[in-house]
Amino acid sequence: MSKNTLSITDNRTGQTYEIPIIDGVIRTMDLRQIKTGPDDFGLMGYDPAYMNTASCRSAITYIDGDRGILHYRGYPVEQLAEKSTYLEVAYLLIHGELPTPQQLEQWVAEITMHTMLHENLRTFIDGFRYDAHPMGMFISTIAALSTFYPEAKEVDDRQIRMQNVIRLIAKVPTIAAWSYRHRQGFPLVYPDNSLSFAGNLLSMVKKMTELRYTPNPVLERALDVLFILHADHEQNCSASVMRSTGSSRVDPYSAVAAASAALYGPLHGGANEAVLRMLTEIGHVNNVPAFIKEVKEGKGGKRLMGFGHRVYKNYDPRAKVIKQLADQVFEVTGRNPLLDVALELERIALQDDYFISRKLYPNVDFYSGLIYQAIGFPVDMFPVLFAIPRTSGWLAQWLEMLDDSEQKIARPRQVYIGVGRRDYPADRPPAYRGPLSATATSR
């Protein structure tokens, strides 16, 4: 008869252990009982980069990487991209269910009411060098927000928690836009609360001398759909940083700043920026075969940016939606000439054995940058545009972590491989010779 357990025989001792399997996993703490003797610490799992370790039980986002499936709270992301709005999706991620019309109205009103930033943040942003990377400004300004809302550290108070969740979702577009305007040397634009979430971002980014900026509805919707697609992606690098940092019970501004820093890297949210730089470097479809050859030869660690994913071993479902979205955007903005390079890269890569055997398919970042560029964003704004919607996902992960009675401060173990105990050399002059040193007191 089948049992939901795992039998392990320790060949060092000949002892057999039976470990429960629940939801397809074993608890690595159950391995700790496996010892060679009373002084043995017990067996641990070794899993660099968490390749096969679940760090939480989560009800937010479901991914089936082999089949290319992504659900938020059970809803397929393609359906949400077609029928929902980013703010409705943010509500879904945070609260677990789609809002009623009244709940949605109140949620949108609350977020809209909190789009303004404290005036001191103008001076704060002004302190950055004229050419500062907007993501550096974004991360630092979010961290600075914790000093404006010191009560946010009361993370066990549900009301305070939710108030700061709303503030964060509402303020990230303003911080993003102001980082961009500072970089461009343009005057900062205040939020226009009569516009939608995406429309207001476009206004704060693009408005010049006109009294009121009216966003193009196609571009406004395209941006909103991109926000839906980027809102959450379960336990990726930045989400686990959010949970890890939040597990120390720090305020959510500091935790979102940490998660944003993780997102900044070129292997994560910085990849869309790297894709555009790569497409620009390739420049023309004729140069694609030579580029692919260099990637396959691993020259200088070169990778096909926007391809491959730790979880998806199939076409990223988000990339499919984005590819369709690109056509609608290009009808308004004109075709991005780099699209041809991207299409040719995809065409060649998808029939090349190197990419097929490693299950490397386009991911979310492969086409999103082309759309951002067509809308008029410079490449260094791309990771910031990723961070805006991901804030709601990080916060949903953070809230779930705080309510999970099994979670404690995150603290991985290590396998120590350094030298054993040794004494500071007696014949070495001590580096510290101050008043508290043994040599000084004995003098």
Task: Summarize as ranges the residues that interact with ligand CMC (CB under 6 A).
Answer: 233, 236, 267-269, 271, 295, 303-310, 358, 360, 363-365
Task: Give the number of other CB atoms < 10 A from CB of residue 51.
Answer: 7
Q: Please identify, using beta-carbon distances, which residue of 158 and 358 lies nearer to ligand CMC.
A: 358
**Distance in Å, CB of 62 to ligand CMC, minimum:** 15
Shortest distance in whole angstroms from residue 313 CB to ligand CMC: 9
Rounded to a whole number of angstroms, the minimum distance from the CB of residue 245 to ligand CMC is 18
Least distance (Å) between residue 406 CB and ligand CMC? 26
- CB nearer to ligand CMC: pick between 118 and 303: 303
Q: Exactly one of 192, 224, 316, 365 is catalytic; which is it?
A: 365
The residue whose Cβ lies closest to ligand CMC is 308
8 Å CB contact between 329 and 218 = yes
Q: Which of 230, 189, 181, 224 is nearest to 377 (CA)?
A: 181
Q: Are 126 and 201 in contact (CB under 8 A)?
A: no
Q: Say whether 23 is catalytic.
A: no
Half-sphere exposure of 385 (CA within 13 A, CB side): 30
Q: Tell me whether residue 24 or residue 301 sits nearer to ligand CMC (CB atom).
A: 301
User: Looking at the chain, how many residues does it have?
Assistant: 443
Q: How far apart are the first and last CA of the chain?
A: 77
Nearer to ligand CMC, 284 or 293 (CB): 293
Which residues have CB under 8 Å from 94's CB, separation 6+? 165, 392, 395, 396, 399
Active site residue 118: no
Residue from 268, 340, 352, 404 carrying the catalytic annotation: 268
> Is-catalytic flag, 365?
yes
Q: Cβ closer to ligand CMC: 260 or 363?
A: 363
- Among 375, 395, 390, 257, which Cα is nearest to 318's? 390
Q: Which among 224, 230, 309, 316 is annotated as catalytic? A: 309
How many other CB atoms are there within 10 angstroms of residue 232's CB atom?
A: 28
Q: Is the dihedral of CA 232, 234, 239, 245 positive or negative?
A: positive
Q: How far is the CB of 298 from ligand CMC (least distance, A)?
A: 7
Positions marked active-site: 268, 309, 365
